[in-house]
A and B are shown apart, each in its own frame.
Chain A
Amino acid sequence: EPEVTQTPSHQVTQMGQEVILRCVPISNHLYFYWYRQILGQKVEFLVSFYNNEISEKSEIFDDQFSVERPDGSNFTLKIRSTKLEDSAMYFCASSEVQAKGFGSGTRLTVV
């Protein structure tokens, strides 16, 4: 069964550094998403992406964040200057319509 893959599974970065989280969505899906889960809290929506542009974003997704589909297979989340509070598990998801397949996540630790 096809699945969303994310790399790396764990990334440690220094505060203020830029970080790029990578995702390979399911190949025939057209909608792409990033969610995050701060330890002990609920999963929160960050952004959805369709047809090479952002279709929805939450208030969490400020100017520090950006998304890109640099080629036909990858979907990336960039955090420009990481803060301690960006430490979380970041999940990528993709879908055709509503039911989404999620990746196993990238745990980002900002030190």
Chain B
Amino acid sequence: AQSVTQPDIHITVSEGASLELRCNYSYGATPYLFWYVQSPGQGLQLLLKYFSGDTLVQGIKGFEAEFKRSQSSFNLRKPSVHWSDAAEYFCAASSGAGSYQLTFGKGTKLSVIP
């Protein structure tokens, strides 16, 4: 079965520190991959996506993610976290090929210490 796993439920980092949020997927073929962010009371905002090509993708708000086929991973990174980055982050995948449904991970809640 297709699945997306985010191993970390909650991560706390200090402001200015680097961040890496983990995401692993289990799909028959390389899926389309996404990272979304959800602030409290808000909807899901797309940070970045990977369809094909360059395995390092740049997104909004200074985020980037690297697709690693050998590890079935698509980890989200940011070199220096800001207090406003505190939110919940969701990794998602779609098989493409005519399917438009997204499968989400359970999310990682990020807390930022001033």
Contacts and interface: CB of A to CB of B under 8 A. Distances in A.
B36 A102 contact: yes
Nearest to B32: A98
Interface residues of A, number: 26
21 contacts: A4-B43, A6-B43, A31-B100, A33-B101, A35-B104, A41-B106, A42-B104, A42-B105, A42-B106, A43-B90, A43-B102, A43-B104, A48-B100, A50-B100, A56-B99, A91-B44, A98-B96, A100-B46, A102-B45, A103-B43, A105-B43
Contacts of B36: 102
Nearest to A49: B100
B73 interface: no
Contacts of B75: none
Which one of A35, A42, A56, A58 has the greatest number of beta carbons of chain B within 10 Å? Answer: A42
Which one of A4, A31, A41, A43 has the greatest number of beta carbons of chain B within 10 Å? Answer: A43
A56 B102 CA distance: 11
A56 B100 contact: yes
A99 interface: yes
Nearest to A104: B43
A101 interface: yes
A55 interface: yes
Interface of B is mostly: strand
Nearest to B41: A104
A99 B51 CA distance: 10
Interface string B12-55: 00000000000000000000101010000111111001010000
B70 to A, nearest CB: 23
Contacts of B96: 98
B49 A95 contact: no
Nearest to B6: A42
A18 interface: no
